[in-house]
Amino acid sequence: IVLMALITALGFSTFGESCSGLVLNNYSTSDLWMSGSRIAVAISLVFSYPLAFVGCRDGVLDLLEVPASKRTSANLNMLTIGLLCIVTFLASTLKDLSLVLALSGATLGNALTYVYPALMYRAVVKQQKRTNENAGVAMALSSGLLGIVMGIIGAKMALQGA
């Protein structure tokens, strides 16, 4: 949390209120290191998309309660094409996703980073009946609570900027 706050403060102190949502866009296009960073981010996005997409597809199948016996290659391919059509349509139609990204980052990002790990740690300690880890559980829950507070502040700021 401290490291994230420090990096955020440094970024804001460098660029001020004119800071772009994608920090790399704040740097000159002639800066070779930043150009390399942009290429690295693009490669990361291209190669991580299939992993995220398969998770999305499996989530849709689970949400629709499709049994494993019906998850044939043909059905998976049809669902994949359908989902890709929806994503492509949305990507070509929607021009500004800043509010959606800001809200999802503030809420889901904080939940995944701070809240869920704290709750999982607490559940494991309770399940394994580890009574000597009260300090660790308290610290984890404090981190989770701080994540909730940061999520509320982030969501409020995102809505104010809309």
- The CB density around residue 159, as the number of other CB atoms within 10 Å, is 12
Q: Can you give the pLDDT at residue 162? A: 64
The predicted-structure confidence for 33-50, as pLDDT tens digits, reads as follows 989 999 999 999 899 989
CA dihedral over 145, 100, 36, 53, signed as positive or negative: positive
CA distance 145 to 117: 12
Q: What is the largest CA-CA distance in the chain?
A: 58
Instruction: Round the average pLDDT of the chain to a whole number and report it.
Output: 89
The predicted-structure confidence for 115-124, as pLDDT tens digits, reads as follows 999 999 999 9
Burial class of residue 146, CB neighbours in 10 A (0-12, 13-18, 19+): middle
The predicted-structure confidence for 34-91, as pLDDT tens digits, reads as follows 899 999 999 998 999 899 999 999 999 999 999 999 999 999 999 999 999 999 998 8
pTM of the model: 0.57
